[in-house]
Amino acid sequence: TWTMLNIAEEQIERVREQIGDTGLAICGLSGGVDSAVAAAIVQRAIGDRLHCVFVDHGLLREGEAEQVERDFVAATGVNLHVYDARETFLAALAGVTDPEEKRKVIGREFIRAFEAAEVQVLGEAADAGEKVGFLVQGTLYPDVVESGGGAGTSNIKSHHNVGGLPEDLEFALVEPLRTLFKDEVRLVGEQLGLPADIVWRQPFPGPGLGIRIIGEVTADRLDILRRADAIARQELTRAGLDRDIWQMPVVLLADVRSVGVQGDGRTYGHPVVIRPVTSEDAMTADWARLPYEVMERISTRITNEVAEVNRVTLDITSKPPGTIEWE
């Protein structure tokens, strides 16, 4: 609409003014809508002087890394640096089963990986005689309010201990979404031609599939969960329920096994839990009454197509007392 075009143009103009005619900006992409829209706005403002970094930690769902690496790049033309940290994350997560410990490990590794990627970008810029002075963040208006506001000019410090760069680099923050609510961000994303899968993505936790595997995270388990989750999402979409359902985690009970039968064969496989919820803001949630036919298709397809899974269960707990995620 006209209004949204205005919002996009206004933000692009502001970013152009803030960054000016020289200097580079860096932006981390998560696969989510906020960082994607923030990056797209800055790309329109300063073009190739924006360098996006995508840390592939291997905890995203099926197709999500490609959405960033291929579709987002095709739609925006951003300069993308992909940093493959899949092995590092798996190694760091080996033997970790406690939910809080998992979150800590994933958070720590993410910062390390992003900084290592950043060092590469800074190094390349320095070689080219340029300086990265700006860090783009997808902060939304509700985040600004929650953290007590302040003008959009704060500096944050980024610590570097690798590559012989200065210890503390100061970046000026660029926050093109600071005045926007989530629904406005999505509309701006549409106006800027971003892929619908990114713009309309349901909430997905930063630690990704790592906190949807109950038990240790391994490559095999991620692979099982990814296939089951893709089927559940396809069926939700096919039923036209994406916008009615707030989100629908699929959880792999990786340390649990149960007996099943398929054809003539006995199986001893894993259960998955589907957790469809409705919510306004994720603070509270209700378990969603999915139509029986949709649940049936999800169950039949997962047990037919994912050999390691022989049981599909439904979580019928509201929040409170259950959180949306299992960890």
Name the residues that contact ligand XMP, by CB under 6 A.
203, 205-207, 247, 282, 319, 323-325
Q: Where are the beta strands (DSSP E) in the chain?
A: 24-29, 50-56, 79-84, 132-136, 155-159, 168-174, 213-214, 250-253, 258-262, 265-274, 277-278, 286-287, 309-314
- With respect to ligand XMP, which residue has the nearer C-beta, 301 or 319? 319
Q: How far is the CB of 247 from ligand XMP (least distance, A)?
A: 6
32 labeled binding residue: yes
Gap between the Cα atoms of 324 and 301, Å rounded: 24
Gap between the Cα atoms of 327 and 323, Å rounded: 8
36 labeled binding residue: yes
Q: How far is the CB of 131 from ligand XMP (least distance, A)?
A: 31
C-alpha angle 6-43-194 in degrees, rounded to nearest 5: 70
Gap between the Cα atoms of 97 and 253, Å rounded: 12
Q: Is 69 exposed, middle or buried (0-12, 13-18, 19+ CB in 10 A)?
A: middle
30 labeled binding residue: yes
95 labeled binding residue: no
Answer whether 36's CB lies under 8 Å from 50's CB: no
- With respect to ligand XMP, which residue has the nearer C-beta, 306 or 324? 324
Q: What is the DSSP letter of 208?
A: G
Q: How far is the CB of 257 from ligand XMP (least distance, A)?
A: 25
- With respect to ligand XMP, which residue has the nearer C-beta, 23 or 99? 99
- With respect to ligand XMP, which residue has the nearer C-beta, 122 or 324? 324
Answer whether 27's CB lies under 8 Å from 38's CB: yes
282 labeled binding residue: no
- With respect to ligand XMP, which residue has the nearer C-beta, 90 or 285? 285
Gap between the Cα atoms of 218 and 97, Å rounded: 11
123 labeled binding residue: no
Q: How far is the CB of 166 from ligand XMP (least distance, A)?
A: 30
35 labeled binding residue: yes
C-alpha angle 155-13-158 in degrees, rounded to nearest 5: 20
Q: How far is the CB of 94 from ligand XMP (least distance, A)?
A: 20
- With respect to ligand XMP, which residue has the nearer C-beta, 134 or 204? 204
Q: How far is the CB of 279 from ligand XMP (least distance, A)?
A: 8
Q: How far is the CB of 113 from ligand XMP (least distance, A)?
A: 16
How many CB atoms neighbour CB 81 within 10 A?
A: 17
Point out which residues pair with 40 in neighbouring strands: none
- With respect to ligand XMP, which residue has the nearer C-beta, 148 or 320? 320
Answer whether 22's CB lies under 8 Å from 16's CB: no
Binding residues for ATP are 30-36
Binding residues are 30-36
